[in-house]
Amino acid sequence: MVTKKRGLGKGLAALIPNDPIGDLVDGELDSDNIQNIELSSIIPNEEQPRKDFDLELLAELTDSIKQYGVIQPIVVRKKENFYEIIAGERRWRAAKAAKLKEIPCIVKEVDDKQAMKLALIENLQRDNLNPIEEAYAFKGLIEEHNLTQEEVATAVGKSRSYISNAIRLLNLDEEIIDYIANGKITRGHGRALLAIKDKNERLKTVQSIVDNKINVRETEKIVNKNKKRKTKKSTIKEDPFVKEIEEKLMRALGTKVTLSPKKEGGIIQVEFYGDEDLERILDLLIR
């Protein structure tokens, strides 16, 4: 069923002041500005942030359009001999599938930057991007349009921490990002995996999540358990005897020294900060 038209939010009006898109931003569209344009004259925006369209939802929208027509106009801009979609590609696709010849449009005069900004925010407010598409959209608004996380949060009706956490998912490995984008794991899994610093351990954990269908809560428990285990291992360095030896060596060599005891023996790590510093340490060791 076609949903009621939603504006792009008060936040967008603040981001693009004194702009010829006010009716798109702030409320109801002026019916006098609506014109029917042939579907064959309309092209999608290559910079559209949403790359995947749910085929089942698209089919539902197609059936609705066959029965009721396109209730909400799409927004386009003139580009050479065509009209490029700013907002409403899903409706355009469904109208084509319904074999309509024309679709109601609002034609706007906006530049590339404004068009991209509108496309990003329109998609973000409709909550129809997967978490990775959403993260790239947030990142694009911040990096390419010089917006702060706070401004993006206001424009799309989210909290600043939501924006920050979404973008952090892009720091994950490519394999994990693909899993999230394809719905094999959730953004919650992704946030938990960010706490694992070792790449091999991270990839091993995500594979276990996928293979065994581990939920987010259990994933968090696994990550916390691994953290505690590593913390327990690192407490060996806090042994007063080990600390005392480290301090004696540091005083003798004039540089940072780290001891890593093992069950039998261990490793002494001596830092140096250039060729001259290395020669100085060697002189101290071999004299």
| Residue 48 confidence (pLDDT) | 64
The set of residues, in sequence order, having a beta carbon less than 8 Å from that of 202 and lying 6+ positions away, is 172, 173, 176, 193, 196
Per-residue pLDDT tens over the stretch 40-84: 999 988 766 566 677 888 899 899 999 989 988 998 999 888 999
b/e map 216-226, b = 16+ CB within 10 Å: beebbebbeee
SS3 198: coil
* C-beta of residue 52 within 8 angstroms of C-beta of residue 130: yes
Residue 90: pLDDT over 80: yes
SS3 45: coil
The two tokens of residue 184 are: 């094999």
SS3 102: strand
* Range of weakest confidence among 30-44, 93-107, 176-190: 30-44
Main-chain dihedrals φ then ψ at residue 6, nearest 5 degrees? -115, 140
Catalytic site positions: 89
If pLDDT is split at 50, 70 and 90, which confidence band does 137 have? confident
Domains of the chain by range and CATH? 10-156 (3.90.1530.30), 172-234 (1.10.10.2830), 239-286 (no CATH)
d(CA 152, CA 154): 5
* Range of weakest confidence among 36-40, 169-173, 211-215, 229-233: 229-233
Give the mean pLDDT of 158-169: 92
- Expressed in angstroms, the distance from the first to the final Cα of the chain is 85
| Residue 151 confidence (pLDDT) | 86
> Exposed, middle or buried: residue 124 (CB in 10 Å: 0-12, 13-18, 19+)?
buried
Residue 21: pLDDT over 70: no
* Range of weakest confidence among 21-25, 41-45, 209-213, 224-228: 21-25
Residue 99: pLDDT over 90: yes
